[in-house]
Structure 1
Amino acid sequence: MTNQEFTQELNKLERLLFSFALRLTSNRADAEDLMQETSLRAYRHKEKFAKGTNFKSWVSTIMRNAYINRYRKMKTRRHINNSIENYSYALENTNTVPNQGEHDLRLQELKKMLNSVGDLYSVPFLMFHRGYEYKEIAEKLNIPIGTVKSRIFLARQRMKKMIGQRYQN
């Protein structure tokens, strides 16, 4: 395929390829960049195009692969180049002394909330929290597994409601 034939074929497909690029990127500027990259790659490898095959499919595959490569590259860059807000912990004052007071107060508050739920619900909830399985809790408390599950669920719901009310006040 000569340079002129290649350019003609590519120009015929320009609108179709741009709509495909726009569908992939969902952004006009990125779609234009993808179009340019696809054109360059296709031109660079035009000798690999076999006459008699579908040119549109060949160029569309190049575009799709270019998009996938770019997406993968941007995905890894996002993890490497995080914004400064993600590193704000480094700017915090390190001269403070750790204090368990706030943690202890929250724990006392949670224990009060759990006690207000009642033993009927708090016992299975605490056993589950400590690592017991539903079947073990049911055997120890001599109740059906379904009852264990519903009591744990209701304990969670009541605790969530109390915690939510705490933050509304």
Structure 2
Amino acid sequence: MTSSEFSYSLDQISVVLKPFALKLTRDLDDANDLLQDTMVKAFTNQDKFADGTNLKAWLYTIMKNTFITNYQKMVRRATFVDTTENLHYINSSASLVENSAFGEFAIEDIYRAIDRLDEIFSTPFLLYYRGFKYHEIADRLSIPIGTVKNRIHIARKYLKEDLMVYKHVN
């Protein structure tokens, strides 16, 4: 493939790559930057592309790897290492202290909300929560699998409404 054919193919495929870049970055400007980086890398590594292979897949791979590399660089830059004598890492999760009182209140509210559900909804929901598969719940309760799925869905809907206060809590 000649350089001009390769450049033309890159231009045609870039339209398809932009939604993928948006999905990865969730930001239009970052997506445009990622797309540009991908195109630059593809063009500078044109000699590594083998004729007859899937150019679109090759570009997707370049984009994904570029995104991962950029993300890892960003995380490394954001991590501050304290080089004082005690060698304490500020971003270390080992030094994270949390107050578990809020979590205990939330759990109590969740259990109260489940208790307020009708038994026909709470029983399948709790079985599913404990790890049972839909077909196991259906067998255990002697009801059709579609009914199990529906009751679990309704239970989730009621719980979501009942626990709306926790929607914006970190």
Taking structure 1 as the reference length, the TM-score comes to: 0.46
- The structure with the largest alpha-carbon Rg is 1
Taking structure 2 as the reference length, the TM-score comes to: 0.46
Q: Which has the higher helix share?
A: 1
